[in-house]
């Protein structure tokens, strides 16, 4: 039950609350199942997810499609997983009672995933999945495979043949952290004496204490070596005979059967919803990052435009008017990135709120345009380019602050959040490297001015 609780604790709060008030009866399982199915389908059909982001998440979307098909067919998947040659394919054959998966004494027999229908459940079908050995692939590919199998399989049979190697231990930890339902299967039990076997099982239990309940560690002999028996022949001489041995997977079959009948469909539904919510979060993160990138580029463009206007335009009053127009355009444009259409009046109101905060925090700051304009007329004696770029850089800086404030407001869904606009302005100013920004602005403006006057 610990695994079950872990799976549950990894779920969103609303689901946990829902699960807490429901028993895991068939009707509830059906409900979980249908809810997960709906979530997945709505993610697949969500056209508001930008196409670039959909392309980046193509693998995940393919996984979703596969999980959806699996849910539609009422399948519960059990995957064998582990190092090369530990007997993964043999184990699945033993559970099936037929040779559906290829096995070999040579390492690396199974190269890709394979599947076979196992048994019918009360309300679905259990399917067995075979996978290649995890140490056949390089580290990155192994990780991906572990993830791939663990995302799709509802129960994972982690197969080993002795104490866990470093790779096996790490892989098991990863699966446990992902909240997967794992049964650790110690295969080739026929190679050990009874005492050795119980010591080994105890050792495995100790090493996986934080991840697995004790009843999920099971010894099996998927394909035992024939028994060697000594017989005295009619002539009195001893001769060696071999007697084939039957696979021994009884205990594992019973545990699996119980797990699948009792929780199979719920596990499949939870598994799917776990994946859907994880993907949902990933998509959301990607959308946030894509919008931020776009907004930053846009703000930069307006900073440059306004910086140039102020630096180049010889009429101070026109500077001001043009600059105000730029701010409104920037705010409206930023709004569109975040999916909001702004009226001019709304944009002006937002600009007034923003400038009020900046004035409050920076004294006469919002008089910047005036200051820079005044500077321009009064500083006739100085090198024009130098003075002009200094003024332009200040205008750039002001535009940048306004842009960042507006972006934050849009990103929070047209809200300043609990802290209010003052706090937002304060934190933007506190995290900003002003001198660096001014330096950058001056360099870029100077380059532009020199290029256009050359």
For binding to ligand GTP (CB under 6 A), which residues are involved?
A: 84-90, 103-105, 107-110, 132-133, 187-188, 190-191, 221-225
Largest Cα–Cα distance of the chain, in whole Å? Answer: 126
Tell me the closest approach of the beta carbon of residue 112 to ligand GTP, in angstroms. Answer: 10
CB of 162 to Mg ion, least distance (A): 18
What dihedral do alpha carbons 408, 410, 411, 417 form, nearest 10°?
Answer: 70
Q: Residue 87 binds which entry of ligand GTP, Mg ion, none, with Cβ cut-offs from 5 to 8 Å by kind? A: ligand GTP
Q: Least distance to ligand GTP from the beta carbon of 109, Å?
A: 4
CB nearer Mg ion, residue 28 or residue 113: 113
Q: How far apart are CA 198 and CA 194, in angstroms?
A: 6
By a kind-dependent CB cut-off of 5 to 8 A, residue 389 interacts, out of Mg ion, ligand GTP, none, with none
CB 88 within 8 A of CB 80: yes
What are φ and ψ of residue 156, in 5° steps?
-110, 125
50 or 162: CB nearest ligand GTP: 162
In terms of CB distance, is 84 or 370 closer to ligand GTP? 84
Question: What six digits make up the tokens of 401?
Answer: 């602050």
Closer CB to ligand GTP, 133 or 335, in the complex:
133
Least distance (Å) from ligand GTP to the CB of residue 419?
A: 56
Q: Are strands 124-130 and 114-121 parallel, antiparallel or unpaired?
A: antiparallel
Helix axis angle for 368-378 and 250-312, nearest 10°, is 40
Contact 156, 81 (CB under 8 A): yes
Out of ligand GTP, Mg ion, none, what residue 372 binds, judged by CB under 5 to 8 A for its kind, is none
The partner in contact with residue 156, picked from ligand GTP, Mg ion, none with C-beta cut-offs of 5 to 8 angstroms by kind, is none
* Rounded least distance, CB 152 to ligand GTP, Å: 19
Residue number, 160 or 178, with CB nearest to ligand GTP: 160
Q: How far is the CB of 90 from ligand GTP (least distance, A)?
A: 3
What residues between 107 and 146 interact with Mg ion by CB under 5 A? 109-110
| CA proximity to 347, closest of 366, 363, 326, 367 | 326
- SS3 (DSSP) at 12: coil
From the list Mg ion, ligand GTP, none, partner contacted by residue 144 (C-beta under 5 to 8 A by kind): none
Token code pair at residue 220: 């099996």
Minimum CB separation of residue 89 from ligand GTP in Å reads 3
Burial of 359 (0-12, 13-18, 19+ CB in 10 A): middle
The DSSP result for 288-347, as a single string, is: HHHHHHHHHHHHHHHHHHHHHHHHH-S-HHHHHHHHHHHHHHHHHHHHHHTT----HHHH
Q: Draw the binding track, 71-110, toward Mg ion (x: CB under 5 A; -: no contact).
A: -----------------xx-------------------xx
CB of 20 to ligand GTP, least distance (A): 40
Task: Point out the residue whose Cβ comes nearest to Mg ion.
Answer: 110
**Number of residues counted as binding Mg ion (CB under 5 A):** 4
Q: Where do contacts with Mg ion occur on this chain (CB under 5 A)?
A: 88-89, 109-110
């Amino acid at each position: 039950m610990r695994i079950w609780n872990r799976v549950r604790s990894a779920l969103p709060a609303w689901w946990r609350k829902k699960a807490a008030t429901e028993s895991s009866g068939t009707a509830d399982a059906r409900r979980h199942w249908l809810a997960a199915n709906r979530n997945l389908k709505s993610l697949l059909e969500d056209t508001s997810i930008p196409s670039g982001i959909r392309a980046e998440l193509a693998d995940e979307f393919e996984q979703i499609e596969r999980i959806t098909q699996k849910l539609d067919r009422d399948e519960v998947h059990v995957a064998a997983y582990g190092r090369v040659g530990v007997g993964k394919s043999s184990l699945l054959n033993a559970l099936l009672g037929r040779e559906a998966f290829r096995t070999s004494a040579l390492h690396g027999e199974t190269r890709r995933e394979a599947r076979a229908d196992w048994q019918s459940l009360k309300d679905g079908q259990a399917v067995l999945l075979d996978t290649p050995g995890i140490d056949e692939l390089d580290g990155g590919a192994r990780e991906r495979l572990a993830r791939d199998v663990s995302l799709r399989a509802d129960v994972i049979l982690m197969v080993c043949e002795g104490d866990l190697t470093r790779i096996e231990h790490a892989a098991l930890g990863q699966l446990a952290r992902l909240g997967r339902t794992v049964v650790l299967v110690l295969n080739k039990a026929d190679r050990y004496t009874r005492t050795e076997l119980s010591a080994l099982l105890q050792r495995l239990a100790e090493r996986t204490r934080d991840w697995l309940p004790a009843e999920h560690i099971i010894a099996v002999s998927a394909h035992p070596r024939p028994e060697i028996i000594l017989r005295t022949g009619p002539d009195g001489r001893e001769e060696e005979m071999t007697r084939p041995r039957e696979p021994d997977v009884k205990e594992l079959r019973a545990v699996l059967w119980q797990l699948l009948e009792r929780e199979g469909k719920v596990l499949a539904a939870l598994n799917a919803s776990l994946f859907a919510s994880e993907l949902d979060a990933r998509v959301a993160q990607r959308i946030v990052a894509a919008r931020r990138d776009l907004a930053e580029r846009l703000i930069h463009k307006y900073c440059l435009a306004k910086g140039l206007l102020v630096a180049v335009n010889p009429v101070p009053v026109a500077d001001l008017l043009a600059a105000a127009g730029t701010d409104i355009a920037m705010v409206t444009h930023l709004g569109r990135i975040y999916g909001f259409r702004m009226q001019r009046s709304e944009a002006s109101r937002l600009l007034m709120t923003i400038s009020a905060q900046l004035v409050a925090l920076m004294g006469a700051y919002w008089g910047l345009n005036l200051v820079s304009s005044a500077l321009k007329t009064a500083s006739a004696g100085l090198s024009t380019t130098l003075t002009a770029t200094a003024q332009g850089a200040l205008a750039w800086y002001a535009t940048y602050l306004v842009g960042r404030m507006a972006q934050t407001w849009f990103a929070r869904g047209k809200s300043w959040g609990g802290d209010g606009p003052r706090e937002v302005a304060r934190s933007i100013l506190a995290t900003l490297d002003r001198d660096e920004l001014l330096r950058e602005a001056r360099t870029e403006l100077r380059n532009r001015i020199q290029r256009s006057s050359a």
